[in-house]
Structure 1
Amino acid sequence: MPKMQTLTLPRTPDDGRDYQLLRSPGGLLCLLVREPHADAAGCVFQFGVGSHDEPSEWPGLAHLLEHMLFMGSADHPQPGSFPQLVSQWSGRFNASTAPERTRYHFSVNPAGLEPCLAQLTDMLVAPLFAADAVEAERQVIDAEFHTRLADAALHEQAVLACVVQPDHPLSRFSAGNARSLAGEPRVLAQALRQFHVEHYRAGNGCLLMHAPQPMKELVALAQRAAERLPTGPAAQRTEAASLLAPQKLPGMLRWQSPGREQPHLLLFELEGVHTGEGQQAVRWLCEWLASPAPAGGLGWLRHRGLAAELRVDVQRYRNKRSLLRLEIEPLDRAEEPVGLLNALFSWLAALRATPSREWPQAARQQLEDQAFAAGPQGELLPWLASLGERLLHEPAEQILESIGRWAGLEEGTWRNLLDQLEPARLLLACSQQGEAGLPQRAPWTDTAYRYEPLHVPLAPTWNDSLNEADWPVWSPAMPEQAARTESDPIPGVREIPVPYRLAAAEGTGSETTRIAWCWPVEQLDRDQGERLQALWSLQLEPLNNWMSATGIRHLWSNSPGVISLELQGPSQSLPLGLVAALEALKAPDDEALQRLAEHRYQTVMKERDHALPAYRLLDELDALICRGTPHSAREAAATQPAGHPQIAWLYPAAWAAGERQPVAAALASLRVAHAFRWHPPAPRRLGQGTEAIEVGCRHADRAQILYCQGDSDSVADLAGWQLLHQHISASFFDQLRTRRQLGYWVVARYHEVAGVPGLILLVQSPSHDHEAISNAIDEWLASEHARLSALPFAQVQSQARRLADHLRTQVQSDAGRSELAWARALSLPYATVLEQCAALEQLTTEQWSQVREGWLEKPRRLHLLSRQI
């Protein structure tokens, strides 16, 4: 067979990874990334086909096809066998259908890359499309649709489809349900085959892999996958017309949200922004818009008390047109949006008056280049998926490139973009609760809406440029600190240095640092923690632009008694990022910031209150097990936690004194406890038997969680219950979702709480009542008892060794060593992971029997059931 053609990448990150871009003789693009120290292998297989390509007589066909590829293929005819394979290799998988692409991805133990890719390729190339499987999966699609009727995004999409140009693909119903996909299963199966043949071809696909295997091995895997795909490009597509009819703009769309009211949505159709210069202008616009700095779009609206949040996104389409989406959360829902719109267009006028040549374009590009050199930060699978998205619109050789993304912006290109953000081109969509004044109905979802001209007199009143002192932060300086010596202790702070491997080159590589504020759990309840996190995240927001440009990712988390902030990014900028973050958190908060924090907290509470039943049950389970009392039974506390926190600080041991001292000085200036004596809270221990609890939910779907708790927190139990999960997760999915069609959301997962192992069995169904769900779970438990009892112990041992290899690989990675050091310093459960590996490798028949007995014969369970309110 002809060999893969190597394509030249202008530059690759200097991060110790090996990058190769290849094209198969049939046209499949393959980006391969080898990282010798990676603890997992990730794979993304993507095709440039989605709901915009499906035949108009079969709405939802692309979505159904994505599902059907998991329902049996030539070499693997058993439906649902791919989840079982991925589970055997301690992995995860998913798939998704978008307007112009369909994506399949998985992440597994590196040893599982070859078998999982081989089966995924067979699924993509040779699906069976059996008529009975088509009928079964059509019902799953229908169940998913009815569950998603509680999702405001589905209703927003439905009403937008009613007002866009009727010949544009966005006017279609793409989710699919039993009615849109009605007909004889054999006829539907034939339509699926035809659609698959037309679009699942090498020239319409890309394969992206990240793994520790030698590059030669990765190339061979890609070659084998490419050889199986049909050659040639996909079927020709008809270019769509413009999205929004100019004669209908400016327009106002009001629609009924199924839950809480959604942010205002502002839409502008853009032309001429698919080129390099056009993309550059759009990137600058999005950065200005989303910035909370006083001169940023979000900061401008917040300063005037008009908005709490602003999110911006650009959706690109094949017809060289794009859709700019602004989601703006108003601070006061009672006010009409005229004031907010006038303020936004006033800001755009000020931005227009601010010459782009005076922006720090070169400095911004330098930050981008530094981040590029350090390589991708965080999880590699989302990064591979984002590159796959870029491959839909950009030349393959440029997908890793950062040159010219920020510097040298042409004034004409910038003006062309701003000229398109005029009031006359605006489509404004606002949600409301209730149907009052909404006479029209969207097909498929029956969403009430009204569309009318936007007659609000927009009068921007700003002609001055934006004050440079108020611009977004693009280059924070290291603050001056009081002198400290290396031996100065920091009261109440526990330092946790972590050994890291050397970076591939001087000044490059990714590192992690973490700060945790720790209180006794009785001093910081859940609501207090949520309020504090809302306030602190707002205080940190002005640094978001700089952190993102530098390649620093930050993540807040909130657990019983602990609020933590983790930063991950390039070694040369991470210490400065941590010091800048601590300084931002020390800044006094004013009344406006407190109002924003309370709004953010209340938004989180409303989202939790209106969540789907499965999420409500998971939330209640967390409250019951982690804190011992139901969330619904506790009052929200408005006060700050009593006493000063203790602080834990994790950092790379390789940091020099000059990098540690500014952080230590910032920590020393915080108000903390005099000594570090924090211990993790103990979980609630269940007694033997099953305790049933009803949980009020606002959605009509029925949901149940059967939480099964282990007997103890011993190393043997921790290891055994993880092994148990690997043996039962695929079976639970297959029996209750694939075969019994209980609903779209069916999952079994390992759930460890404060060092005590457990399992969650979760089902959410729009079509079955609680009795049917409970009976199905009980019957499955009985069948699993028989299946596991008959399972040869040699097979159990083989899976135990495989799990031990996976856990050991994880703990030996940089991230794993960080977590191990963190857990040992704070007496957290992960501290025993190496001992768990040994227990798995030494597993006996008696220990395996005890695990099964503790789960099935002497259970400790909570049974949560949703109840509509």
Structure 2
Amino acid sequence: MPAPTHPRPHTVTLANGLRVTLRHVPGLKRSAAALRVAAGSHDVPLAWPGLAHFLEHLLFLGTERFPAAEGLMAYVQSHGGQVNASTRERTTDFFFELPVRAFSGGLERLSDMLAQPRLNLDDQLRERDVLQAEYVAWSQDPSAQQQLALYEGLPAEHPLRGFHAGNRDSLKVELPAFQQALREFHQRFYRTGQMTLSLTGPQSLEQLRVLAEQFAAALPAGDKVAQAALVPLAVKSYQQVDGPHGNLLFAFDALPQSSAEALAFLCHWVNSAKPGGLLAHLRQHNLAEGLKASPLYHFDGQALLHLHFNAGAESLKVIHQQLLDWLSFFAQQDWAALREEYAAVQQRRQQISGALQLARLDSEQLQNGLPDCAAEALKNILRELGAVDNFAAHWHLPAANPILRANEPLANAGLIRGQTSAHRGLRTFAQDRSRGRRERSPMQFSQTVPGNGDEGAIYLRWQLDAAASVDLQARLQRSLQQIRQDASEAGVEVSFSATGNQWLLKLTGLQEPMPSVLEHALKCLTSVSADSPRVEPEAPLIPIRQLLKALPDRCLEPVGASDDAAHLWATARWDGLALGFNQQSQSAMGLALSRIPGQPDHQLSAPCAIKGPYLWQHIDTTSSEHAVLLYCPSASQDLSDEAAWRLLAQLLQTPFYQRLRVELQLGYAVFSALRQIQGRIALVFGVQSPNAQPDELLEHIRQFLNSLPALIEQMDEASLSQQRQSLADQFDAAEIGFREAAELLWQARLASHSSDYLERLVAAIGALDRSTLLGAARRLLDAEGGWLCLASAPAPGAPWQVVK
């Protein structure tokens, strides 16, 4: 993706008071909108906590013009886009991303739902039960409770100490006073003067402005109004301890303008793990293994800065002293080089961001980098934090990011652990290929995605004698921490995953730094030993997320595990796929490719999938909430089956959500989606419920699926044709983003499809008719591809077979 032609978006205030930011980015394939309302949970009447969050939910339930089945959520889903909303303390955000051709329809629905909500009482009663289910899950979620506990050092009367999500007790929808408060809140804040609209896309600024004016025309006009008055934070700092985790919190009541940029800059450098910094010192002295600094809250001069440490209470006092010493050091430094690097990091991130990320960034209305006014604000913040003139001599500023600055090859270009002499030929394989050598590298440079842009993607896969043990996986992940951070700052995202006995290293983003990133990542992964430090355990997930995390491994035949990294690398076999690289950039990959451990192999197979019509795996989620995840792969790898499964997924998404979440109110976590695991395509249905048992949830899913043939039969030809065309358009080269295309092509390789996969998939979708779709629905209902159910309870009995 080329760098944005406008580093900052164009800003204008329309005649009716709506503030608009417009960003034209020619390389984007999609458009996005982010609408921010300057009103949030802290602005509602004290008698009705949760009202702002409740209203956000209600706005998605349809209007007279666009009922729920035709509203924004259903519309975006039917076009393969993204949509969501968020209510925070002082803001409420609505945002979506769509193909350019469908973007105006999304804006039309968003403006209508904001301006003309039905606020029907029956809808309110049903949605209150959804929020009640959210509340039950939230009250039992350790992470959520830990987050709430962070505010306990503040005065009891400050709204940060309150409950703002809403539940059955706080949302008295039956009372006239509540209904009056709900409508008054909407009328007061959902006005143009209280809103900011951010639009991003490949359209010209003039085209985006026309769309913004059309959007604004449907909204009630009104001036900006004052939000609820601030309650003083009234403390300077305090600490919280939760077992092995320590938290230091610093409160500010009267920060100057640009303090948001100042805090972001400070947190960026506090979080650096490089030698000479705070985290490196804490690790060296066994005081803390991890550190994360972030602003928890910021509004109108008030802020709460949070520093989280993987350390217990006994270390927290010493950590606090070391923090103050580092802050004193930092306050006395010349930040010129850090400001330059920080601005470069922000520019790189914007360069690889999609339309939705850019639109949401613009809605924050922050300046780039650390401008002079923010530097002055930072000096004030550091004084308030207790920075002084004296500090220890061992501190020094972090070294410049080597990935961000230049593509310098690593030292010691010889063979690494697990590598054989066969790899030496890969060092110049691009030149070898031009000389007509018969052998070819298992790293395939695909020409399916044009190599004339800035983006690239590398998928590198190893097949091993055994799966990595949990401990080894943790050590491998830990080894990548620093390169992952450096690469991210340089515009490359690095991920490493293990599924069964296969490992996958994936790099996506700007292709220019990728050879260096790949070299560093391989060096880190192959340096892991039994003495390498472990990773801190992750925070517990809610039940449905636990099932989703377990799914990739549980749908494969189990394999033995090993903790011997050296042996696994030495016996590994590998292949890969690179996309977006032209001839010159392919040549630059030669040195990195020469360092891939293991034996190159052109014919790696996918791990074996478990087989059986009805398989059940119990996963203990240690929660009182119940969850079910039903995985339904297609009956074959044929493209006609894949096309049918994709269309079924599109047709089912909105009705499934409507039936199980809105009508049956089983819980707030309800979804259906299409997933690809190791090249195998599948429909996935998930539900988490505070009340219904897993066997009940599964029965509701089955009943819904039994109605699928009737749903297909009842569709008129025009609707079916529209759904088919909408799906086909999502794979059109003019609309599909680079990263989405790269992931699809990698999955196609795993499924042994040819390089013209995308064109053949579009043709297969176009060939679908009602009869073939009904046939696919029957194969789904008959579990011809097998059904796998992951659940938080043991199997209910026949026909389900227990998988251990």
TM range (shorter): 0.7 to 0.9
Q: Whole-Å Cα distance in 2 between the matches of residues 199 and 823 of structure 1?
A: 46
- Structure 2 residue corresponding to 1:91, chosen from 73, 81, 85: 81
Matched, 1:463 2:392: yes
Between the aligned partners of 2:186 and 2:693, the Cα distance in structure 1 is 36
| Number of the residue aligned with 1:537 | 480
- Distance of 2:517 and 2:765 partners within structure 1: 40
Give the 3-state SS of the residue equivalent to 2:774 in structure 1: helix
Distance 1:467-1:236 versus aligned 2 partners, 3 A rule: closer
Please tell me whether residue 327 in structure 1 is matched to residue 308 in structure 2.
yes
> What amino acid does structure 1 have at the position aligned with 2:445?
I
Greater mean deviation of Cα atoms: 564-573 or 297-306: 564-573
- Tell me if structure 1 keeps the 8 A contact 2:129–2:665: yes
* 2:347 corresponds to which of 360, 372, 384: 372
State the superposition RMSD in angstroms: 3.7
Distance 1:297 1:781, change over 3 A: same
Q: Is the 8 A contact 2:518 2:592 kept in 1?
A: no
Asked if the contact 1:512–1:566 (Cα under 8 Å) also holds between the matched residues in 2, the reply is no
Distance verdict in 2 for CA 1:141–1:263, change over 3 Å: same
* Pairing partner for 2:32 from 24, 42, 46: 42
Whether the aligned pair in 2 keeps the contact of 1:18 and 1:33 (CA below 8 Å) is yes
The residue correspondences of 1:228-627 to structure 2 (distance < 5 A) are 228-245=218-235, 251-253=238-240, 263-270=245-252, 273-276=255-258, 278=259, 281-330=262-311, 336-353=312-329, 356-359=332-335, 361-362=336-337, 364-365=339-340, 368-369=343-344, 372=347, 375-388=350-363, 390-391=364-365, 394=366, 399=367, 401-402=368-369, 404-405=370-371, 415-422=379-386, 463-467=392-396, 475=405, 478-479=408-409, 487=431, 494-496=443-445, 498=447, 510-520=454-464, 522-525=465-468, 527=470, 530-531=473-474, 533-538=476-481, 540=483, 544=485, 546-570=486-510, 573-582=513-522, 588=527, 594-595=532-533, 598-600=534-536, 603-604=537-538, 607=539, 610-625=540-555, 627=556
CA contact (8 A) 1:164 1:244 kept: yes
**Aligned-residue offset at 1:498:** 4.7
Q: Which residue in the other structure is 1:787 paired with?
A: 711
Give the C-alpha shift of residue 418 in structure 1. Answer: 2.8
Q: 2:590 aligns with which of 664, 681, 691?
A: 664
Specify the SS of the correspondent of 2:671: strand
Tell me if 1:115 matches 2:115: no
After TM superposition, the score normalised by the length of structure 1 is 0.79
**Contact 1:18 / 1:34 at 8 angstroms: preserved in 2?**
no
Residue 686 (structure 2) aligned to one of 762, 765, 784? 762
Q: Which digits, 9 at most, give the CA deviation of each residue in 1:213-246, with x for residues without a partner?
A: 4544432221111112222234322431332435
Listed as ranges, the gaps of 5+ residues in structure 2 are: 415-426, 434-438, 796-804
CA contact (8 A) 1:352 1:465 kept: no
* TM-superposed deviation, 1:83: 2.9
CA deviation map 1:177-204 (0-9, x unaligned):
1111135155433321111111111111
Aligned twin of 2:670: 746
Is the Cα contact below 8 Å between 1:265 and 1:326 reproduced in 2?
A: yes
User: With structure 2 as the length reference, what TM-score do the two structures score?
Assistant: 0.85
| Counterparts of 1:414 and 1:693, CA distance in 2 | 53
The amino acid of 1:683's aligned partner reads: A
Contact conserved, 1:377 with 1:568, CA < 8 A, in 2?
Answer: no
Separation in 1 of the partners of 2:398 and 2:50?
51
Q: Please, which moves more after superposition, 568-577 or 292-301?
A: 568-577
**Which sits farther off after the overlay, 821-830 or 121-130?**
821-830
Matched position secondary structure for 2:304: strand
- Equivalent positions of 1:145-294 (< 5 A) are 145-182=135-172, 184=174, 186-245=176-235, 251-253=238-240, 263-270=245-252, 273-276=255-258, 278=259, 281-294=262-275
How far the C-alpha of 1:77 sits from its partner, in A, is 3.9
- Deviation at 1:47? 0.8
How far does residue 369 in structure 1 lie from its aligned partner after superposition?
4.7
Pick closer, same or farther for the CA change 1:697–1:109 going to 2, 3 Å: same
Structure 1 residues 562 and 219: CA distance shift in structure 2, 3 A: farther
Q: 1:498 to 1:347 in 2, by over 3 A?
A: farther
Q: Deviations over 1:558-586 (max 9, x none)?
A: 44444444444556555544445455556
Give the C-alpha shift of residue 557 in structure 1: 4.0
| Separation in 2, partners of 1:303, 1:376 | 36
Higher alpha-carbon deviation: 836-845 or 141-150? 836-845
1:353-380, CA deviations, whole angstroms, 9 ceiling, x for partnerless residues?
A: 4674445x24741662586388431333
Q: What amino acid sits opposite 2:385 in the alignment?
A: L
The 1-side partners of 2:44 and 2:583 are apart by 54
Q: Distance in 1 between matches of 2:14 and 2:690?
A: 45
Q: CA deviation at 1:852?
A: 1.6
Q: Distance in 1 between matches of 2:523 and 2:619?
A: 42
What is the CA-CA distance between 1:738 and the residue it aligns to? 0.7
2:784 is aligned with 1:856: no
Q: Which amino acid aligns with 2:270?
A: L
| Partner SS state of residue 58, structure 1 | coil
1:723 Cα offset (Å): 0.3
Q: Is the 8 A contact 2:628 2:792 kept in 1?
A: yes
Give the whole-Å Cα distance in 1 for the aligned partners of 2:288 and 2:710: 58
Task: State the one-letter code of the partner of 1:126.
Answer: Q
8 Å Cα contact 1:519-1:561 kept in structure 2 = yes
Quick check: 2:708–2:777 contact (8 Å CA) kept in 1?
no
CA gap 1:756/1:676 in 2 versus in 1, 3 angstroms: closer
Q: Structure 1 residues 819 and 496 mapped into 2: Cα distance closer, same or farther (>3 Å)?
A: farther
How far is the alpha carbon of 1:863 from its aligned partner?
3.3
1:842 paired with 2:767, answer yes
Does structure 2 retain, via aligned residues, the 8 Å contact 1:682–1:754?
no
- Give 1:85 shift: 2.0
Q: 1:773 to 1:830 in 2, by over 3 A?
A: farther
Three-state SS of the structure 1 residue aligned to 2:172 is coil
Which stretch of the first structure deviates more once superposed, 370-379 or 166-175? 370-379
Aligned length: 769
- Deviation track 1:612-634 (CA, whole Å, cap 9, x = no partner) reads 22223334433231x224xxxx8
Which stretch of structure 1 is more off in the superposition, 345-354 or 228-237? 345-354
Q: Is 1:683 matched up with 2:635?
A: no
Call closer, same or farther: CA 1:196–1:284 in 2, change over 3 Å.
closer
Shift of 1:837: 0.8
Contact 1:533–1:563, Cα closer than 8 Å, also in 2:
no
- 1:653-698 CA distance string (max 9 Å, x none): 3363xx65564224324433155442333433443xx334433221
The Cα shift of 1:56 comes to: 0.6
Distance (Å, rounded) in 2 between the aligned partners of 1:585 and 1:692: 35
1:797 to 721, 731, 740: 721
Name the stretch that deviates more: 112-121 or 713-722: 112-121
CA distance in 2, matches of 1:205, 1:349: 42
- Specify the code of the residue in structure 2 equivalent to 1:418: L
| Alignment partner of 1:653 is 2:581 | yes
Which residues of structure 1 form unaligned runs of 5+?
A: 1-11, 256-260, 331-335, 425-459, 504-508
Q: In 1, are the aligned partners of 2:633 and 2:787 still within 8 Å (CA)?
A: yes
Q: Which amino acid aligns with 2:553?
A: A
The residue type equivalent to 1:325 in the other structure is H
Q: CA contact under 8 A between 2:48 and 2:171: conserved in structure 1?
A: yes
Aligned-partner Cα distance in 1 for 2:529–2:619: 38
Structure 2 vs 1, CA of residues 306 and 819 (structure 1 numbering), >3 Å: closer, same or farther? same
Stretch moving more, 795-804 or 55-64 = 795-804
Contact kept in structure 1, 2:82 and 2:97, CA below 8 Å: yes
Residue pair 1:63, 1:174 contacting (<8 A) in 2 also: yes
Q: Report the CA distance between 1:142 and its aligned residue.
A: 0.5
Offset of 1:108 from its aligned partner? 2.5
**Once the 2 structures are TM-superposed, how far is the Cα of residue 344 of structure 1 from its aligned partner?**
4.5
